[in-house]
A and B are shown apart, each in its own frame.
Chain A
Amino acid sequence: MAREIPATITVLAVLVVVFSRYFAVGAALDLTRVTDRWLMLTYAASVFVGVINLTRLHLDRLRRGKDTRSYDLVLLFVMYGYMALGFAQTNAGVTFRWVYNAVLVPLDSTMYSLLAFYIASASFRAFRVRSFEAALMMVAAALVMIGSVPLGDALSPAFPAARAWLMRVAQTAGFRGIQIGAGLGGLATAFRIFLGIERAHLRA
């Protein structure tokens, strides 16, 4: 029961979408136009999953008296406080937007920009020409880097031209090969889910 019903739902869900796409009757019945809406509602209903998981994790850490207690408290306080503010004001509220622009935006952008420092360090330490393949990779990287900035244009028209060739021919060929492989892999996985061979989600 606990396995059979979910497994049946999975197969039916696949069939509904595939039937509507490939069979005229399915399209005429407008199956997915109705079921798409249902799916969106199930997603919307699950919106609190992240909040509940974070709450459980950090309450658990508070209870166990870990040394991150003050941070756990801050996280819970900020999360519920900001959510309450949003419910009270809507996302268009003055204070809600104030916090969004003053705190969330800079934290998010700066977090990603940190990687620039580690890329710089790795360039010095890890990018070694140990083989012909590594040399190819380094030359491609250097040409793309110099060819995609105005300095490259100013030094020689050969740099942007070499970059353009690399981007449009060589690297596009490589990524197309990789993506065709990945696309076929995705189709195979979807088919395995349909056939019930792939059932990791039923163990959740």
Chain B
Amino acid sequence: MSKRVIVIFPHPDDETFGAGGTIASLVEEGAHVTYWCGTLGEMGRNMGNPVFANRETLSSHRKRELEEAVSVLGIDVVHLGYRDKTIEFEPLEEMVTHLRTKLEEERPDLVLTHYPGYAVHPDHDALGRAAVEAVKEMEEPPELWLHAISNDSEKDLGEPAITRDISDYWDTKWKAIRTHLSQADGMVDLLNREDQLERMKTERFYTGDQLR
């Protein structure tokens, strides 16, 4: 049976920016990957450049962009139905139960989410925390890979256990980045910085036993 992977992040584009190369490589290795996308990113501040979205239409653009991105990456998407910017204010217990129930149905081998407390955006930290707790509550917990973003993650947590050189999948990741048109400009700006570009070609994850 093929490896079952669930990716849990809050925003359309987190999957591509944070883990696009890893996802593409897992798919090529035969894994069945599904992105559980927490929100529609409806409160994002990037509106395209030049601007083509507004606060009310942004959700539609981002949903459509995500559909293209997951098609590029070769994965499925499930929307969890939370609200952008508000995940940390939801009752944690309810989210944990929601995620655990769904995970028990899917019985994944691997769950990929944000490292709670080290993922910069409050939605990243909050959904990552709920996902980690949900996995901990499972009788047969899947493997956990955790994406950390904050500048102090290595100082506090040490080196991530998993380092994936995704150079071979860079074209796919780049294509997926470009599908997130309303958001891509901020990202592309980043990529014009050489150090950031090299950073994007390596994806690193902490493992569940590195949680503290």
Is chain B found bound to chain A in the same assembly?
no
